[in-house]
Amino acid sequence: MVRGAFREHRFHGVGGLQLYARAYGPEPQPQAATPVICLPGLTRNSRDFHELATFLASSSGGGHPVISLDYRGRGNSERDGDKNRYTIAVETADVITACAYFAIEKAIFIGTSRGGLILHHLISLAPRLIAAVVLNDIGPVIEIEGLLGIRDYLNAGTAPASWAAAPDYLKAIHGGDFPILREVDWLQLATAIYRDEGGIPVADFDLAIAAQLQALTSDISPPDLWPQFHAFAGVPMMVVRGEHSKLLSSATVNEMKSRHPNLATVTAAGQGHAPLLHLDDPRHAIAAFVHR
């Protein structure tokens, strides 16, 4: 189905679950611009990338085919009856299935948060698929402070009372980490995070995904992903870090640079976790990177 700037696709992932994706720009073709595949954060969806995908698919952005995915249980993808399948391993298998569905043999991947963790898994399972990688506010070391903040936010059980209230609601929670955002940005964020149910904004993901974080405490050390990161040696890579990020530290970014000498780095000024990539600085940097 064609809807505005994108085409809607539905296909089946692990266990036969119906998954959803948006396709922007031309169809992937040999000898044409390298496709870009956008992977969102833990509870987010393809709408996060709408502005960036529209730009990268345009002639000024390089005319790339761009695919933006909804993982299982998020956005327009089916909710999984087996909640144990909300894992990085299963979601990585779904990404591989999506590549086969779109007949993509190699792509530039943009992974925000959870999406970047999926890429750390994908590089071991299907390295042939990866032409280049953009990691958005994620790396091989995950700060527990940031994870606890995500846990508390997602499991707070609150939501804006109306669409009119949604931008200010989000600004009240996240404004300290995102001072650069304008009113239009908060509105766009609201339409990306929430779906409409009878005129009321509702979080657009299976609540079982957020519940997985409830067992997380400050005593738990997140997994060390340096071995997986080393598998990216030779793969062109960029990391975007939010200036106010609590999930990815500047020390980790510096260590990533020392271990991957050709790593390109961008600081998203005035943003926290996870940066909006369609704002000027990240957008221009990503466009230049995918054109290499």
In CATH, what number is assigned to the domain containing residue 16? Answer: 3.40.50.1820
Confidence at residue 157, expressed as pLDDT on a 0 to 100 scale: 81
Structure tokens at 211: 């519940």
Tell me if 160 is assigned to some domain: no
Tell me if 29 is assigned to some domain: yes
Tell me if 40 is assigned to some domain: yes
Q: What is the pLDDT of residues 128-168, one digit of tens each?
A: 999 999 999 999 999 999 999 999 999 988 889 999 999 99
Separation in Å, CA 193 to CA 100, 203, 248, 258, 275: 28, 6, 22, 35, 14
Tell me if 207 is assigned to some domain: no
pTM score over 0.85: yes
Tell me if 54 is assigned to some domain: yes
Print the domain residue range for 131. Answer: 2-142+223-290
Tell me if 187 is assigned to some domain: no
Count of domains for the chain: 1
Phi, psi of 37 (to 5 degrees): -115, 125
> Residue 194 and residue 190: Cα distance in Å, rounded?
6
Q: What is the pLDDT of residues 4-59, one digit of tens each?
A: 689 999 999 999 999 999 999 988 877 678 999 999 999 999 999 999 999 999 99
Tell me if 177 is assigned to some domain: no
Q: What is the pLDDT of residues 222-279, one digit of tens each?
A: 889 999 999 999 999 999 999 999 999 999 999 999 999 889 999 999 999 999 999 9
Confidence check: pLDDT of 92 > 90: yes
